[in-house]
A and B are shown apart, each in its own frame.
Chain A
Amino acid sequence: MILSVVKVLGHAFFVMAVGLLFMGVGRRFSARFHRRYGPPVWQSYIDVIKCFSRKSISHHWIMDMGSVMGLAGLVAASMFLPVGRYLPFQSTGPIIVILYLMPIGYLGMAMGVSASGNPLASIGIGRALTLMLGYEVPFATIVLCMIAAFNSTSLVSLGQAQQAGFLSWNIITMPFGFVAGIIALQAMLAEKPFDTMIAPSEIASGPMVELSGKFLGLAFLQHSVGIFVETGLIVTLFLGGGPGVGFFILKQFLVYMLSLAINAIFARYRVEQATKFLWFTAGGLAFIQLVINMYLRSGTI
């Protein structure tokens, strides 16, 4: 009992730490695209610690509760994601549970910033949810592709199904699905061209506009856990998971760098353009993969 509590606690902090490290390296990586030096890789840790040690303002206790709920949802989702083969507690890594636990994080965040009463924050949330309706279509279709191929939604067994070597990875066997997945991931991470909900120059960072001190710190941590879970999903679904924790994190890192590279060279879509693109282009690619998997592919696990 105590051991499992310690494991869960440790896993939560491990996930946050890895996510923050990704963010730190990512900032330096993006800086190189812009021909600057960029901050040191540990800058994100400094930022979070600083945020938590400064005075903050809140408009209502619902704002506090929402911020806590926001991070809690994503931390809970990360508990079900097998890192390599490691899970903090016994589960099958049910992907639909993860897909539905992540929204509680976004809902909590949305509730918190709504309680601040700032219209810019609400506009940002409105855009974020619209975008969610966009990327959920290709991503759900990818999950269905996996069911068509392996009749499983358990991340553990989906990872095991790709252990036969590089050629058995789903990136090779399901190329259309992978492209759709990368597009959906870009939208999930709110990187360009899908960063309309943050849009600093337009709606003053949207949801973050009223956050200060530890509330901003919690938002930072939420983003870091989000990076971990979302890249982790792509790695498990398409890149063979990983035999070990180290390999898994390396693959996650590569996926995140890919996402940042796309971010560095694209401009921003308007939200309805982004949604349409996600529905029709990404969704279409995933749908082609689904039809291939359902009718042309033979053999299951």
Chain B
Amino acid sequence: MSANPVVDPSISAQRTAAASEPKRILVLGATSGIAEACIRLWASRGDHLFLVGRNAGRLAAVAADAGTRGAAFVNTAVADLDRTEHHGDLLAHAINTLGGLDLAYLALGVLGEQTKAERNFHDAAQIIHTNYTAPVSLLTWLASYCAQRHAGTLAVLSSVAGERGRKSNYVYGSSKAGLTAFVDGLRNRIDREGVRVITIKPGPVKTSMTEGMKGRERFADVDKVAASIVRAVDRGNDIVYVPGQWRLIMAVIRAIPERVFKKLNL
């Protein structure tokens, strides 16, 4: 990972956008359900978007939707973000195309299959790589870029699953716990440099990731979750639970003594 991001020097990142001015937004993992719902909101208000995803056809559909809804500018790059060695080039290209960066939104992630991952290290390592290692690579680059310019917002999709190891999804949970700790620490390092870093912790949401899960009809609506995220990013909140009641729910779950918790089926 290059410590000196290769970015066209003619581009000024100092342009600070007022809330009403269009923002230059980079979305990493743009075909994820929550990311797409946010993209629709940003597009409707005329923001500039650069979208990165793995599947070309799906990414093109998301981009077409954003363009139709009113995004002032949409461009895409097809990339497998597991390939950390390409991150520097990809991010430089995206920022050059956008003409700067106001917000980077990291939404890459996989749920994986817990039952496989708890027996097979390869499956566990895959989850950890996509959910933790790859975002760390992206954030390291983006943090240097933004810190040098004393501008920008980094919003990262983590999960309430990272708040406590549970038997039903601790591999995924541990990857998100690591991500949360990394993002929180990063904020404590570069907030004073003028870079906002936002940890977003959704509860279970009705997206394709949770298709077929038990109790899904009670999961949060993805459009409402996206509206909360967009609002929180505009405000520059540090840690965001969506929907908000998960802050309380997780406080309760964290308070249960482990000798009781280990007997529960959570």
Do the two shown chains form a genuine complex with each other?
no
